[in-house]
Amino acid sequence: MIQAATGKSPWLLRVHHRLRSLSFAMLFVAAVLHGYDKELGAGVWGFLVLLFLVYPHWQYWRASRSRDAIQAELQSLLFDSLLLGMAAAALHFSLWISFSAAVGTLVNNAANKGWRGVLQTIPACALGALAWVALFGLHFSPHTGAVATAFCMAALTMYLLIMNNIGFVRNQQLRRVRHQLQEREAALLEVNTRLLGNLREIDGLQNQLREQANRDPLTGLYNRRYLSSTLERELSRCKREGQVLSLWLIDIDHFKAINDVHGHQVGDAVLVQLARMLAAFARAEDVVCRFGGEEFLITMPTMPLQAAIERAEQLRSQVAQSPFVSGALDLKISISIGVSVYPMHGLLVDGLIGAADSALYRAKAAGRNQVFSAVSM
């Protein structure tokens, strides 16, 4: 029979033991029906009793105690063929008994080993028969009596039906196992899909948290923490590519007075409105940050000093002309801007920001609402 998919020997050994015991017992009955009126010696009958009634149990005992029980049982199938060839010769090559024995061992070997088993079984049977003939001489009497013939036909039919039923039951078990595996696979796929969805949700939340960690909660602009890492990368890129980068430091003029006169809620509204103006004014490649309090910082890659000053003037003028509304209030504000440019005013982040801060201080000292550029190194 086909080996169990799990490789567990008890099932294979038990099935083979039952099949071997039943089929060999039926062959013994056929031998008795065939040979009761023939002159078979006591030695022949002793051999048939040992083979058909004792050997199946000894073979099971031997295989079950082997280190590799499966391999021992598969080897015993070939030994069965050899002994059945000897039994056929001992019974004078009775046609139906020899045919039944040959078909039974061929089917069993084929079920367990495929065509390799068939090719091994035929010479094994022939070798067993030749061994008996060599030891005890050739006695050829193929005629089988009617009763023995009928019994062999019935016994062979029963044996083949049992083999097919075992195969059917085993296939049913395999189908159930396959169905269970498919159900488990579907369940695992569903769990995996949920896990992937959860992972995507977690990734999204992590990205959202990272974004929130890099954003100012009031204005929504990038914060100083994000600026530090981004500006370092931008300066490294500018150094590699030989590009310039302008940096603006922006401060709202007299912002403390707005808070003192109108309250912090109005001051926050002014900060939010200015942040929106800066974000709209900046280019796609620019980075706009809330630097702290009422200060903002913009980095503008590839923008040289003169262009940076002219554009900063445009921003200053736009802010001065725009109304800042908070409820019923219509405020006018102004900004001061300090401009520095890499590498003219600094090679490092702190130096570049410091240069822009010095320029901003000069702009405020000169009366505010002005744009000043840093002094060259």
Query: In sequence order, what DSSP letters do the residues of 77-110 get, joined into one string?
Result: HHHHHHHHHHHHHHTTT-HHHHHHHHHHHHHHHH
pLDDT in tens, 69-127: 888 888 888 889 999 999 999 999 999 999 999 998 888 888 888 888 889 889 999 99
Burial of 206 (0-12, 13-18, 19+ CB in 10 A): exposed
Mean pLDDT of the chain: 88
Place of tokens 């004792």: 54
Residues of 262-276 as b/e, b for ≥16 C-beta within 10 angstroms? beeebbebbbbbbbe
Mean pLDDT of 3-25: 73
The number of residues in the chain equals 377
Count the alpha carbons within 13 Å of 279 in the hemisphere toward its beta carbon.
12
pLDDT more than 70, % of the chain: 95
The pLDDT value given to residue 9: 55
Contact 318, 210 (CB under 8 A): no
Q: Give the residue numbers annotated as catalytic, written as ranges.
A: 294
pLDDT higher at 33 or 377: 33
Domain 224-373: give its CATH superfamily.
Answer: Reverse transcriptase/Diguanylate cyclase domain (3.30.70.270)
Would you state the structure tokens that stand for residue 362, as one six-digit string?
Answer: 């000069």
User: Is the confidence at residue 376, as pLDDT, over 70?
Assistant: no
User: Is the confidence at residue 4, as pLDDT, over 50?
Assistant: no
Instruction: List, as one string, the DSSP characters of 339-354.
Output: EEEETTS-SSHHHHHH
Least confident of 13-22, 205-214, 265-274: 205-214
Sort residue 368 into left (φ over 0), alpha (ψ -120 to 50) or beta.
Answer: left
> Would you say the C-alpha torsion 110, 114, 118, 121 has a positive or negative sign?
negative
Start and end residues for every CATH 3.30.70.270 domain found in the chain: 224-373
Rounded to 5 degrees, what angle do the CA atoms 214, 219, 220 make?
40
User: Is the confidence at residue 160, as pLDDT, over 90?
Assistant: no
> Model's pTM, two decimal places?
0.51
Mean pLDDT of 292-317: 95
The pLDDT value given to residue 38: 73
User: Is the confidence at residue 245, as pLDDT, over 90?
Assistant: yes
